[in-house]
Amino acid sequence: MAWFLQNAWLIPLLPLLGFGIITLTPIQRNRNASAWLATLLMVGATVIAIGTAVEVAGRVVVGPDGTVSVAGTEAHGADAEAATEIKAGHGYEWREPNIVRTIRWAPAGGDEPFTMGYIVDPAVAAMLVMVTITATCIHLFSVGYMAHDPRQARFFSFISLFSAAMLAMVMASNLLLFFMAWEVMGLCSYLLIGFWYDKNYADPAQITPRQAAIKAFITTRIGDVLLLVGLAWLWTEAGTLELGAGPGQVFNPALLERLATTATGTGVSAATGIALLIFGGTVGKSAQFPLHVWLPDAMEGPTPVSALIHAATMVSAGVFLTARTFPIFEASEALPVVAAVGAFTALFAALIALGQFDIKRILAYSTLSQLGFMVAALGVGGWVAAMFHLLTHAFFKALLFLGSGSVIHGMEATVGHDSNTSQDIRNMGGLRRFMPVTFVTYMAGFLALAGFPGFAGFWSKDEILADSFRTNTLVWLVLSLASLLTAFYMTRQVMVVFFGTFRGHHPRKQPHTTHGDHHHEAHDPHESPWTMTVPLGILALFAVFAGFVNLPYDGYHHLAEFFAQEAGKFNVLVIWVSSAIAVLGIGLGWLAYRNAFASAEDADPLQRLLPGAFTALNRKFYFDEIYAATFGAAAGVLARASTWLDERVLDRVVLDSGSFTRFLGQVNFIIDDTVLNDGADLLATGAQSAGDGTRRSVTGKVQDYVALVFAGVVVLGVIYLYVVR
Amino acid sequence: MPSMTEAVPLSWVLLLAGALFCIGLFGALSRRNTVGILLGIELMLNAVNINLVAFWRYLEPNVVAGQTFALFVVTVAAAEAAVGLAMIIAIYRSRQTVNADEVDSLRG
């Protein structure tokens, strides 16, 4: 009965296997084979993930010795009773995982070796289901979307690795393994954002996929370094990175207590410092302000990649990191910072989304904004609300991205393969007639994101708003304003894309392109093939119904029960206000944009109303420019200083020492050649000639010897007579 | 009649001995026949003997050391001649020659 739990390690392994097979075997030459292989393996992972979740929902617990038991539900009920007494806004308790499987990995200095392995608890199970289902849909969608790409096998191997890394990260039994998988995702995002690395634009100022990939990698790296420092600090303080509340694990109450009371030189407790550094990782990966700049440019990757990054992996990873280490945050004073960053990002990104024309970039800023909601929810202690929104958002954001991919795919039939033209919403319009399936599913995603009552996004967003209303009114106000803007910009997008008249036959002139051929003009946009519409349909079902797993009424908190956490409170005022906001936003959007664009060259109504402000929004509040002028310029100055140092100082030193050595070599050569070499030669030839000379005196004739002896006697006699005497 | 020592001064005897030595040396160095060389050596030894006897007779007639030395030299010369002749015969047997120039196996 616990087969799925005991074999949950297969979930990340299957996509990893797909990556390995496609990368290493000749199957990569067959584009369709590699695509379907990756998709089928992902389906397998999905099946296991769903089975695991079912077992987790059944409270199946596998002990360390392999014994399978079913935990009593009444224990959790008692916990829930007790939890209501906990201060509002601190709603997370670490629960014993359903299964922990580890292997000894490396000696760690202490008695216990460092272990690696996987954990499945309700939060993990929910994430696994979400990630595998969305990833499967994205894989299937990509089969159609990437059908004409020559590097299809490469694409599928990368997204398989990406999914595998995300799944491994979710299941990681300790924070080091978590971090490793996290970094693999960073690598995959780099590879996939830069997938069309040979693409160039006529406008040199427009960011290319290559640059976007580097930008994403470096920006998230800032957060990753902070996270790594935080983990190193946690290791030095705690001596462990293992997830869990037991002794020798990071959520041990005694340890958290000690961390919270350990003072540091900066005036905050160690827990706060560690929590803030870990949150730095979240800010980078989930693209929160001020490290948000990479996410919109990540749109340079293929659209399924955007869906993968925005829904199933990557940005969810950031939120999941904070959710996973939430006990540390609860022990610290970092939560207000988390709430502030989240709320600010939610509003800030929603504002920027108002001024964008690229269909994918609008969604990208919407993702930023929704991630801000989740982070803010965590900041106000709404753990369940944040996870709930993370799950529902993943489904409808994947749907919206895939829908936009379908739209772009259809548009390319009319305007050609120029992403500047095919992704500009001003060139669309009236697409509901050409792409009915895409339209209907997109509407489901739109209503979910806009928070229309009854749809998935409504329930999860409402839970966040209710939590923030209870704990921090300012956050609630900011988030409510952001939801109003969300409804507004999404209505704007849908009105401009799907309603009105089709403007694609006369697209906007690109300021930098010279070629004016519109040989596609004769074609109308077309609906996408079934491999693309089926995933849309599946995700649309989730967008409509996923909210019902956790209704804010007593007895319907299924997700909170699944997590065994305290459920959010029902709040009549908040639910009416957020309903009104959604309807108001949609209504305003409809009013402003129902007839906004008669031709593709028209100006946006907001632009006519507030030209200056609109330009600021369209330029994303100039953050790219500001960063380029500050950090970019600082990096440039540093680079130039390094060059100067390198060329003028280090090179000089190196060259001088080189020539000095050369000089020494010359001297050495002279000494060697003249003294040592010639001297030795001289000695040798001298000895030889001396030998030759003496050899001649040795004639072997007795009389010669006698004569010599006599001469010697004479000499001795002479010496005796004239010298000694 | 003056005594012999007064009639013949020592220097004459020494000159005779020196001359004899030189003749012997010349013979030893120049003769190619090994027997000739031996003869030369004998002459030199005898020149030395004359010296010894002359110094005894003229300078120290009361001590018998000079005569004794001369007798010793005669004895040694006889032994030397015997050995030398034996070697010459041995060389002749092995090399069929007594020519000193052809016996040069010590040559370097």
Q: What is the pLDDT of residues A232-275, one digit of tens each?
A: 988 888 888 888 887 778 888 888 888 888 777 777 788 888 88
> Which residues of B fall within a CB distance of 8 Å from A707?
29
CA distance to A84, A483, B69, per residue, from A553 (Å): 15, 22, 150
Work out the pLDDT band at A512, boundaries 50, 70, 90: low
Work out the pLDDT band at A687, boundaries 50, 70, 90: very high
Residue A475's pLDDT is what? 87
Q: Min CA distance, A722 vs chain B (Å)?
A: 20
The secondary structure of A431-490 as a DSSP string is TTTT-HHHHHHHHHHHHHHHT-TTSHHHHHHHHHHHHHHHH-HHHHHHHHHHHHHHHHHH
> Which residues of A fall within a CB distance of 8 Å from B103?
700-702
What does DSSP assign to residue A185? Answer: H
B19–A contact, CB cutoff 8 A: no
Q: Is the pLDDT of residue A7 over 60?
A: yes
B22 in a domain, yes or no?
yes
What does DSSP assign to residue A553? Answer: S
B70 in a domain, yes or no?
yes
Average pLDDT over residues A529-533: 83
Report the number of distinct structural domains present in chain B.
1
Longest dimension (CA), chain A: 144
Q: Which of B34, B91, B101, B105 to mutate to test the interface with A (most CBs of A within 10 A)?
A: B101
How confident is the model over A158-203, as pLDDT tens digits? Answer: 989 999 999 999 998 888 899 999 999 889 889 988 888 888 887 7
Residue A575's pLDDT is what? 83
> Average pLDDT over chain A, rounded to whole?
83
* Chain A CA closest to residue B31: A703
Do the bridges between strand A99-106 and strand A68-70 make them parallel or antiparallel, or are there none, so unpaired? Answer: unpaired
Note if the pTM is more than 0.90: no
CB nearest A700 (choices: B25, B28, B107): B107
CB nearest A702 (choices: B25, B30, B100): B100
Q: Min CA distance, A706 vs chain B (Å)?
A: 7
Between chain A and chain B, the number of residue pairs with CB atoms below 8 A apart is: 32
Q: Is the pLDDT of residue A72 over 70?
A: no
Q: Min CA distance, B40 vs chain A (Å)?
A: 11
> Which residues of B fall within a CB distance of 8 Å from A700?
103-108
Q: Min CA distance, B18 vs chain A (Å)?
A: 14
Distance of alpha carbon A677 from the chain centroid: 67
Residue A456's pLDDT is what? 85
> Which residues of B fall within a CB distance of 8 Å from A702?
37, 100, 103
CATH at B90: 1.10.287.3510
What DSSP element (H or E) covers A12? helix A10-24
B63 in a domain, yes or no?
yes
Residue A685's pLDDT is what? 93
Residue B43's pLDDT is what? 92
Range of the domain at B40: 10-95
> Which residues of A fall within a CB distance of 8 Å from B106?
698, 700
Q: Is the pLDDT of residue A550 over 80?
A: no
> Which residues of B fall within a CB distance of 8 Å from A706?
28-29
Q: Min CA distance, B63 vs chain A (Å)?
A: 27
B5 in a domain, yes or no?
no
Contact A4, A54 (CB under 8 A): yes
Residue B51's pLDDT is what? 92
Distance of alpha carbon B3 from the chain centroid: 28
Would you call A695 and B37 a contact, using CB atoms and an 8 Å cutoff? no
B35–A contact, CB cutoff 8 A: no
How far apart, in whole angstroms, are the C-alpha atoms of residue A634 and residue A611? 32
Work out the pLDDT band at A82, boundaries 50, 70, 90: very low
> Which residues of B fall within a CB distance of 8 Å from A697?
108
Length of chain A: 725
Percent over 70 (pLDDT), chain A: 94
Would you call B100 and A707 a contact, using CB atoms and an 8 Å cutoff? no
Q: Min CA distance, A711 vs chain B (Å)?
A: 12
How far apart, in whole angstroms, are the C-alpha atoms of residue B97 and residue A641? 99
Contact A122, A95 (CB under 8 A): yes
B71 in a domain, yes or no?
yes
Cβ neighbours of A1 (radius 10 Å): 10
| Per-residue three-class SS string for A382-432 | CHHHHHHHHHHHHHHHHHHHHHHHHHHHHHHHHHCCCHHHHCEHHHCCCCC
B44–A contact, CB cutoff 8 A: no
CA distance to A336, A513, A640, A648, A649, per residue, from A653 (Å): 52, 50, 19, 8, 6
Would you call B108 and A702 a contact, using CB atoms and an 8 Å cutoff? no
Which residues of chain B fall below pLDDT 70? Answer: 1, 108
Q: Which residue has the higher pLDDT, A313 or A135?
A: A135
Would you call A701 and B29 a contact, using CB atoms and an 8 Å cutoff? no
Give the range among A373-377, A467-471, B65-69 with minimum mean pLDDT. A467-471
How far apart, in whole angstroms, are the C-alpha atoms of residue A542 and residue A131? 13
Residue A85's pLDDT is what? 39
Q: Is the pLDDT of residue A395 over 80?
A: yes
Would you call B29 and A706 a contact, using CB atoms and an 8 Å cutoff? yes
B39–A contact, CB cutoff 8 A: no
Give the range among A256-265, A355-364, A516-525 with minimum mean pLDDT. A516-525
| Per-residue three-class SS string for A192-229 | HHCCCCCCCCCCCCCCCHHHHHHHHHHHHHHHHHHHHH
Tell me which residue of A714, A357, A400, A715 sits closest to A540, measured CA to CA. A400
B102 in a domain, yes or no?
no
